[in-house]
Amino acid sequence: MIPRDLLAAAVDELAAAGVASPDYDAAELLAHVLGVPRLAVRSAADASEEQVAEFEELVRRRAARVPLQHLTGSAAFRYVELAVGPGVFVPRPETELLAGWGVDRAREVLAAGRTPVVVDLCTGSGAMALALATEVPEAQVHAVELDEDAHAWAVRNLSGSGVDLRQGDMAAAFPDLDGTVDVVVCNPPYIPLEAFESVAAEARDHDPALALWSGEDGLDAIRVLERVAARLLRAGGWAGAEHADVQGESAPAVFAAAGRWCDVRDNPDLAGRARFVTARLAR
């Protein structure tokens, strides 16, 4: 069957199901089945009957709002490719900005003549830890994840990277590093429990609950993060944490209220929405 005909039918099916990016998703799924780059699918050789059947099944599952990355088994994140699937939070493009901020801070430490020590709390798939270890190979990168299934994905993704990966609660993580860390990054859960119905089906039904919900106001994990980062960081060290776009004032307020941070500011994503808070330990 001709790829462009397969694509046309798939785009219609995905659009009718309310998928946000039907053209992109259809092309990604067909590229996955045919084993070609996404931009080459329209010029690819005709699909076999087996490939057509596989593609149509993947489109059906995507229309049922199974995450695209679960169907292809991978997610791109900055300069790395991650294995993902059921049981782990799928890394989003917005988080790449926070990872890039962490890379910049680590490189500043390196430029000052020291080996950067970086901690990724709530690492999930290991996305930010792997990005930091890849882009700043001189850094000592540490990561922790509580959820057993997500930790297994992180083990897979961080194998051979040199990252010190541990399983446990971020609240008690890395006591051996207290006062020695230069940069802490975290993409914590930050969705208020009352927002359940407004969350996209791909996240609500397929991402781990532990990676999504964080109390009545969505800030419970960020409050823990603030305390942990203050314990881990050396004086003048940096903390950065992602948050919901409606928390552009409330998330920085958690750090400001603690009275031990300076340079507290919020940072927008590429769409101009409030996305992550950064702060420097003042003590």
Q: Tokens 């997610």: give the residue.
A: 75
On whether 190 is known to bind a ligand per the annotation, the reply is: yes
How far, rounded to the nearest angstrom, does the alpha carbon of residue 208 sit from its chain's CA centroid? 13
The Cα–Cα gap between 241 and 142 comes to 16
> 235 φ, ψ to 5°?
-55, 130
Cβ-based neighbour number of residue 69 at 10 Å: 21
Q: Determine the length of the chain.
A: 283
On whether 252 is known to bind a ligand per the annotation, the reply is: no
> Are the C-beta atoms of 130 and 81 separated by less than 8 Å?
no
On whether 138 is known to bind a ligand per the annotation, the reply is: no
On whether 24 is known to bind a ligand per the annotation, the reply is: no
On whether 93 is known to bind a ligand per the annotation, the reply is: no
Helices 3-16 and 49-63 cross at an angle (nearest 10°) of 20
> Are the C-beta atoms of 233 and 241 separated by less than 8 Å?
no
Task: Supply the Cα-derived Rg of the chain in whole angstroms.
Answer: 20
The Cα–Cα gap between 63 and 60 comes to 5
- Could you tell me the two tokens for 1? 């069957």
The Cα–Cα gap between 26 and 14 comes to 8
Residues at the binding site for S-adenosyl-L-methionine are 145, 187
Residues at the binding site are 145, 187-190
Residues at the binding site for substrate are 187-190
